[in-house]
Structure 1
Amino acid sequence: MYYVYKYTVLFVFSIVLGFAFNMFLLPHEVLSGGVTGLAMILGLLSPINSGIWLVILNIPVFIIGLMKLGKEFIWNSIFSVFITSVSMQYIPIMKVTDDALLSAVFGGVITGIAIGFIVRFYGSTGGADIIGLVVTQKHDIPLGVLIFGINSTVVFISGFVFSWNLAILTMASIYITGVVIDRVHTRHIKLSLMVITTKGEELKNELIGNLIRGITIMSGYGAYSNNENKVLYTVITRYELALVKSLIKNVDPKAFVSVSETSEVIGNFRKS
C-alpha cells in the first residue's frame, strides 16, 4: 500500500511540475535551473521538445546518483523525470497570464512544491536535485539553498542567450523555488528513530547499507510476549524517513517503530 501511495504522489507532482514549466515558465522564457533549465534553453532554441532534452541531459547525472544514492532513489527519479517529460509533450505551452513577473513567482512556487514532495518521497527531478542530495549526505546544507547555488549558473546562460531582464526573472523564480523546497522538504528536521524487532541483524544490515547514520543496538524483552527482541536506535533527517519506513516494512512488517522530533544533535551525526 505504501508503494502505491508513494508512486501516486510522484506521478501527480511530476505532472504538476510539467504544468508549471509549460503554463508559467516557458511561455515567458523564464527558465528553471540546472539541467532542467538547460533542457528548457535547448528546447527553445531547437525543434526538439524540452522534455526530450530533459531525459538526454539527465543520463550522466543518474549514473552519479546510482553510485551514491542507490537503486530505489534512481528508479523513483527516472519515473519522475519520465512522467514530467511525457506531461510536457501533452500540456500545451500557453500563457496563464501576460505578466512575466507573476508567472515567475507562481511558476517558482508551484515548481518548489512539486520538487519538494518528489524529494520527500525519495525521488528527484534529476540534475541539480541529485547533485544537491549527494552533497547533503556529507554536509548539513539546506537542499533548497544548495540547489539555488547550482542553478544560478543557468541565470548567466539565459542572460546571454535571451536577455538580462529574463535572467533576473529566472533568478527570482529559482530563488522562490529553493525557499519552497526547503519548506516542503524539511531536511533539517532531525528525528529520533527507535525500532523494536525480532530481526535485528537483518534490519541493521539493511539500514547500514542504505543510510550514512550510525546505529545503536540494545537487547530487549517483551513484557507481554516474553520474546527476546532487538532495539535499534538512531537519528535521521526528516527526508530519510520515507526510505527508512520502506526498509523496515520490507524486513519486518511487524516491527514496533517510534519516531520523535529531536531538537538538537551533539556528536557524530554521520557514519564514519
Structure 2
Amino acid sequence: MDKVYSTAIIFLGSLLLGVAFNMFLLPHEILSGGITGIAMIFSLMLPVNAGIWLILLNIPVLVLGWMKLGKVFILNSIFSVAVTSISMLYIPVMKVTEDALLSSVFGGVLVGVGVGFIIRFYGSTGGFDVIGLLLTMKRDIPLGFLVFGLNSLVVFVSGFIFTWELAMYTMASIYITGLVVDRIHTRHIKLSLMVVTSKGDAVKKQLLEHLYRGITVTDGEGAYSGNKVKVLYSVISRYELAYVRPLIKEIDPNAFVSISETMEVMGNFRKDDNFKKVPGTSQMM
C-alpha cells in the first residue's frame, strides 16, 4: 500500500507539472529551470514538442543518478519524467490568463508543489533535481536554494534568446518554485531529539538501524520515581521525524520525547559520513 500511495503521489505531482508548463509557463514563453527549461527553449525554437526534448536530455542525468542514488529512486524519476512528458503532449498549450506575471507566480507555485512532493516520495523530475540531490549528499544545503542557483543559468540563456523581461519572469517563477520545494522537502531542517526511556538499548538499536545517526547515551534517574533510565540524544532531519515518532512509541509508549529545531550542526551528520567511536564515551560519530 505504501508503494501504491507513493506512486500515486508521484503521478499526481508529475501531472501537475504538465499543467503548470502548458497552461501557465509555456504560453508566455516563461521557462522552468534546468533541463526542463532547456527542453522548453528547444521546443520554442524547433518544431519538436518539449516532452520529447525532456526525455532525450534526461537520459545522461538519470544514468548518473542510477549509479549514485539507487535503482528505486531512478525508477521513480523515470516514471515521473515519463508522466510529465506524456502529459505535456496531450495537455493543450493555452493561456489561463493574459497576465505574464500572474502566470509566472502561479506556474512557479504549481511546479514547486509538484517537484516538492515528487522528491519527498523518493523520486525526482530528472535534470537539475538529480544533480542537486547529489550535491546535498555532500553539503548540507537546502535543495530548493541549490536548484535555484543551478537554474539561474537558464535565465541568462533565455534572456539572450528571447527578451530580458521574460527572463525576469522566469527568474521570479524559479525563485517561487525553490521556496515551495523547501517548504515541502524539509530534509535539510535539523531537529534535536532527546528520548528518556527505560528501554534504552532497544530504542538505541532501532534508531541506529533506521537512521544511521550518531547517538549519545547517558544514564539518568527519575527525580520523583527514582527509576533508572537512559537518556538518548541525537540530531535528525525533519524528513525523518515521520518514522522516528512511531518507532519510539512502538518500543516504549511511556518514553519522554523532546524535539526542538536546531540552528546549526557541526561534525558528522549525513548518512555518508564515516562513523567512528569516540574514545571514553558512548557516542558514535
Alignment TM-score, normalising by the size of structure 1: 0.79
Question: Are positions 1:34 and 2:43 aligned together?
Answer: no
What displacement does 1:234 show? 6.3
> Kindly tell me: are residues 239 and 72 of structure 1, through their superposed partners in 2, closer, same or farther at Cα, counting changes over 3 Å?
farther
Aligned-residue sequence identity (percent) comes to: 61
Cα distance in structure 2, aligned partners of 1:96 and 1:52: 24
Q: How does 1:240-255 map to 2 (within 5 A)?
A: none
Which residue of structure 1 lines up, in the alignment, with residue 223 of structure 2?
Answer: none
Assess, with a 3 A threshold, how the Cα gap between structure 1 residues 47 and 183 changes in structure 2: closer, same or farther: same
Match of 1:17 in 2: 17
**Where does 1:33-52 land on structure 2 (aligned, <5 Å)?**
33-52=33-52
Contact 2:214-2:269 at 8 Å conserved across structures: no
Q: Tell me the equivalent position of 2:261.
A: 263
Q: CA deviation at 1:163?
A: 1.0
- Comparing 92-101 with 184-193, which one deviates more in the overlay? 184-193
CA distance in 2, matches of 1:80, 1:260: 37
Q: Distance between the aligned counterparts of 2:127 and 2:240, measured in 1?
A: 20
Aligned counterpart, 1:137 = 137
Unaligned runs of 5+ in 2: 218-231, 275-285
Q: Which residue of 2 aligns with 1:158?
A: 158
SS of aligned partner of 1:263 = strand
Alignment of 1:104-253 (within 5 A): 104-190=104-190, 192=193, 204=209, 213-214=212-213, 235-239=235-239
Q: Do the aligned partners of 1:23 and 1:95 also contact (CA within 8 Å) in 2?
A: yes
Q: Deviations over 1:140-199 (max 9, x none)?
A: 11111101100000011111111111111111110111111111111222355999979x
Q: Does the 8 Å CA contact 2:148/2:178 hold for their aligned counterparts? A: yes
Question: Is the counterpart of residue 76 in structure 1 residue 76 in structure 2?
Answer: yes
The answer to which structure, 1 or 2, has the higher relative contact order (CA under 8 A, 6+ apart) is 1
- Paired residues of 1:190 and 1:261 also in contact (CA < 8 A): no
CA offsets per residue over residues 232-253 of structure 1, 9 Å max, x none? Answer: 99644234668x79xxx9xxxx
- Judged with a 3 Å threshold, the aligned counterparts in structure 2 of structure 1 residues 50 and 98 are, in CA distance, closer, same or farther, namely same
Q: Secondary structure at the match of 2:139?
A: coil
Distance of aligned partners of 1:47 and 1:65 in 2 relative to their CA distance in 1, 3 Å threshold? same
CA distance change for structure 1 residues 139 and 158 in 2, over 3 Å: closer, same or farther? same
Partners of 1:18 and 1:166 in 2: CA distance: 20
**1:45-100 CA deviation, whole Å, 9 max, x = no partner?**
11211011111101111112112211111111111111111111110000000111
Rg larger in structure? 2
Q: Which stretch of structure 1 is more off in the superposition, 184-193 or 120-129?
A: 184-193
Letter in 1 for 2:117: F
| Corresponding pairs, count | 244
CA contact (8 A) 2:185 2:239 kept: yes
The answer to whether the Cα contact below 8 Å between 1:112 and 1:178 also exists between their aligned partners in 2 is yes
2:141 partner SS: coil
Moved over 6 A (4+): 193-198, 254-260
Greater CA drift, 35-44 or 262-271: 262-271
Say if 2:190 and 2:235, in contact at 8 Å, map to a contact too: yes
Is 1:2 paired with 2:2? yes
CA contact (8 A) 1:193 1:236 kept: no
Shift of 1:34: 0.6
Residue 31 and residue 65 in structure 1: after superposition, are their counterparts in 2 closer, same or farther (change >3 A)? Answer: same
2: CA distance, partners of 1:55 / 1:165: 28
Q: Distance in 1 between matches of 2:79 and 2:201?
A: 33
Do the aligned partners of 2:30 and 2:167 also contact (CA within 8 Å) in 1? yes
Structure 1: give runs of 5+ residues left out of the alignment: 219-231
Query: Conserved in 2, the CA contact under 8 Å of 1:122 and 1:239?
Result: no
Q: Is the 8 A contact 2:108 2:176 kept in 1?
A: yes
Could you say if the C-alpha distance between residues 111 and 39 of structure 1 is closer, same or farther in structure 2, counting changes exceeding 3 Å?
A: same
TM-score by length of 2: 0.75
